Structure 1
Amino acid sequence: MGAKWVKISVIYFAIGLAFGLFMHYTIELQWKATHAHINVVGWLSTGLIGVIYSIYKEAAETALAKAQFWLYNIGLPFLFAGMMMIYLDVPRWLLEFCVSGGGIAVAVSVVLFVINVFKHVKSPS
């Protein structure tokens, strides 16, 4: 499971870099919060979860880890899309669906991660 997280994180790394270049060359700097979230939540947090699950393989193979994986990786693109929609002319319901739906999915995923870590990550004997 750890390798999947790491692979997804490098995709977010590339997206974050490309988005930063887009902002630079178009001087569309209002997107800075979205850019930061892509890099911190997409690249760094996702990669760190992958490293943790690579070290603590027992935690990575639980039902909690699998549920967390899917909630996080379905919710996060919706959250990022919603964050971009803030500056676009889209229906309010669509913006709320993406930001709230994606954000709640990611938040629940993080809660599952915390539970999983406290339940299955143990110090070596």
Structure 2
Amino acid sequence: MPRVSELFFKTAIVFLILGVAAGLQMAISGDHGAFPAHAHINLLGWVTSAIFGGYYALNPAKAERRIAVIHYGLYTVGIVIMLPALYWMLAAGHPEIEPVVAIGSLIVAAAVLIFGFVVFSSSETVRSATAAPAR
């Protein structure tokens, strides 16, 4: 499995654990005010990261490109900024943290655009972007 796939899958599992923990915290406390953050942790952290990992596992030539690692790093930084801030804003009632949520969201959006570029780039583009074969 390509390294970037493994990174995305491992990150996905971390967010699955955090999403389950957030859900349990809401259920135990009876306060479901942070349910949008819980949904974002599960959807962006767990599901989307796993899908990215699956895509790269199925497309190892694209996974070997440096842009795949940039995609991983940017996406992960974005969700690490956005999700805790969103949870804190909703669960603890801190609307002043919304600009941090916005910054994280913009970073995530940039990473998604990079992924779109990776998906729509042709195999020829992938080959030419990697090391040229020796003659």
TM-score, reference length from structure 2: 0.82
- Aligned partner of 1:102 in structure 2 is 104
Specify which of 36, 40, 44 is matched with residue 41 of structure 1: 44
Structure label with greater radius of gyration: 2
Aligned ranges 1:58-73 → 2 under 5 Å:
58-73=61-76
User: Following TM superposition, by how much is the alpha carbon of 1:64 offset from its aligned partner in structure 2, in angstroms?
Assistant: 1.7
Shift of 1:77: 1.3
Identity %: 25
Greater Cα shift, 9-18 or 81-90: 81-90
User: Between Structure 1 and Structure 2, how many residues are aligned?
Assistant: 120
Decide which of 14, 30, 37 is 2:17's aligned counterpart: 14
In structure 2, stretches of 5+ residues that fail to align are 125-135
Q: Map Cα deviations across residues 52-110 of structure 1 (whole Å, 9 max, x no partner).
A: 10110111121221211111111101111221232335472x431x2111111100000
* From 52, 56, 59, the counterpart of 1:56: 59
Stretches of structure 1 that go unaligned for 5 or more consecutive residues are none
What RMSD, in angstroms, separates the aligned Cα atoms of the two structures? Answer: 1.7
